[in-house]
A and B are shown apart, each in its own frame.
Chain A
């Protein structure tokens, strides 16, 4: 396959184009899903190959992609990409400016501890069947699920500047859920929560400690049925890592994707409240808030040697001590904002067009000690975690989240639970209310395999490093 990619780059170099790149992906995935005690679904896709060719001609992008790997049709694909660019240039008033960069070559092959694609399927099923059986232990529980996704992707990236990089990665997403009903309504508990994808193989399933947490989520879902809701108008909230990862994702991650500043995503995903003139001076949060994009950390799903337009992996401070400094950018966008490309152009598969995407987008650890320390130092409030509902506006400014459970804190102690804690905020006001972030010992990566963006839609794998944090005086009594 590497030879085919070399050959395509060679053909592109002979054409009258400003820039061209080629991507090849071969992807494997497996989903295993138990509903109640029954194996509802086991499916596998292996060696799903795709090829994508992107060219810049007459100041306009053209792209052609396919998952039908027919080497005799490569010339047709190149011609189609070039034709798309040339015709589209009729409707382009400002040519794309694209500065050349130094080429990168290299390889990265992640090796999981337990390769899920080499492991016999019946062993995986037996392991998960045991979890599914034990989840169904209370008559009030009317539905349960055990769901695991395994993913492996081999990718080759090459461009007309001489970059040539191939990578192999594995990601795994384990999850389980219980749903209970009584006359007061329906409640849900999940484990490990909303962002459970991690780099790795079957060891990620074992590390999720599903079996060890069955009793906890079963008890909590039953208790939630009769639990009160938050009654205060405002409260101090400690947000746990799994849910804080989503809060970071929605209100900072997407907001600092610079394609939104230029309106490239208005048609679907939306825009951002950030304007170019805010860079370097806008107070996005309190001094406790330090946020960065880091595609150089191999612990996170967003690690890469180069992004999908040849920019080497980078660590970039997006927010430093609360001040907005930088953006997630592409080679086309960065110069328009006076920035360096941040290595954030990514596509899900080779036949997808690359977009500005989060990689490892992280809230740096603070100095608040452990989660236990943070709870102890909170006079009155709620510790909330496990995402239930999320929603944020077109500008990434007004958000409202509901978690599955909240733990009521009085005088530094957890004294009970509340159901469906719902809080609302305006992005910069909310991050400005952050007065404590837990220390390094509580800091972990939380990942997703399903971050949607772009048209045609792409679901991206990415991760967020966070530690639990506290936010003061947050509006938390919103009801339908």
Chain B
């Protein structure tokens, strides 16, 4: 944020003591390469500067945002807001805005858009495409670098800055002859931790597996191996139940289960915004410093994700976590050992279009995507058409029988509203009695 604007925001806070302000300023850039059929579809460079403002007068509040903010625009909007706010009804549940003044080192991160140039990206993609071609596949996907600086100032003295520069490569190999698809992804913030050569080797192993015969599978309950991406997605979807807002709305699966054993003892899940392998976050959107938070420990539900609003409302301790850096504790089996004991089952690489049927019951439906494989007598033998499941996330977790002794970082991009990249670190898991309800009959 430019110094002149910062000083003006500080002045607004100092001169309007009857109000409380939250100022969130974000300066954001992306360099976004999208490719298909082993060639560029388009490359986007995009920049944005936004200021989000929330004003409180007692229990009344309103918000506005300004693109490309300056003093003139902000003054105009503030005057408009001061005129309106006294006419608004109260939000009786509101107590106070964030007051956590603890800070991290707020170390600026290198801008990975500059470190990983468009030419560098293309060099990497050409290697993947060459390997794909050797096996009769073409490459499709995205290669993204972002850089964001976020500042938070509020009337309670919060004054914090955070930096993000995530990198995300998601590359799919699609077979020329039958559209069988396999997926490789990697992401994080430290280029040194991104092992493109290892990803290329892994991608080639998947391409080879994808050349197998394609078969269909009847609806039934199966033993499945869920890839790290899949268990990460289920846990992310369970995030609504982890959040104190859902407890307040009586829609949380965990209501009444606090400190009780809800899943098998081998399941431990936590939110760790400082895990060096992940895209890291110092603060939540309100400026609350966030730290490692245990969610499920040895099968016992431990904590809700609590922001200041719902902390005041539910009397739960505020932790500020949002579940954007989920980590599942590894187990004691190698992936090969896990597969070797499956007589007839399914390896699921990725999931698609999940949606809740009943959020409190955690029942949902969705599909497999980008590599679904048949396991027979301990070996992956065939490719399976994509399948639909209708399951409860709680049942999936209850039925986990084995967890891999290794874990993988999986990046996810959020594609509504602000474009953000976050990541999870997950192992493979083996699940008994997974409910497949139909086949798509297509790859």
Contacts and interface: CB of A to CB of B under 8 A. Distances in A.
A65 B44 contact: yes
Contact of A125 (B88, B119, B249): B88
A69 interface: yes
A121 B440 CA distance: 49
A134 to B, nearest CB: 15
B440 A45 contact: no
Interface string B110-145: 000000001100100110000000000010111010
Interface string B407-432: 00000011111010000000000000
A397 B387 CA distance: 11
Nearest to B52: A43
Most buried by A among B40, B77, B419, B443: B40
B357 A402 contact: yes
B206 to A, nearest CB: 15
Interface string A56-71: 0000111111111110
Contact of A84 (B118, B353, B363): B118
Contact of B413 (A62, A181, A271, A455): A455
A143 B250 contact: yes
A318 interface: no
Contacts, number: 265
A459 interface: yes
B435 A480 contact: yes
Interface stretch (B59-67, B188-196, B271-279): B59-67
A49 B70 CA distance: 14
Q: How large is the interface on A (under 10, 10 to 19, 20 to 34, 35 or more residues)?
A: 35 or more
A41 B358 CA distance: 26
B42 A478 contact: no
B389 to A, nearest CB: 9
Contact of B92 (A38, A70, A400): A38
A397 B416 contact: no
A469 B386 CA distance: 29
Contacts of B84: 121-122
Nearest to B415: A457
A66 B440 contact: no
Nearest to A133: B89
B258 interface: no
Contact of B48 (A66, A85, A87, A424): A66
Given A89-B40, A391-B353, 20 more contacts: A38-B92, A39-B89, A40-B91, A48-B65, A84-B45, A88-B40, A91-B125, A93-B38, A186-B360, A266-B181, A267-B36, A270-B369, A389-B356, A391-B388, A394-B352, A397-B440, A398-B439, A400-B437, A455-B413, A457-B414
5 contacts: A125-B89, A267-B35, A391-B353, A457-B415, A459-B416
Interface of A: 38-50, 60-70, 80-81, 84-85, 87-94, 121-122, 125, 129, 142-143, 179, 181, 185-186, 262-264, 266-268, 270-271, 273, 351, 353, 388-395, 397-398, 400, 402, 420, 422, 424, 426, 450, 452, 454-457, 459, 478-480
Interface of B: 30, 32-50, 61-68, 73, 77, 84, 87-93, 118-119, 122, 125-126, 138, 140-142, 144, 170, 172, 174, 179, 181, 249-251, 352-361, 363-367, 369-370, 386, 388, 390-392, 395, 413-417, 419, 435, 437-443
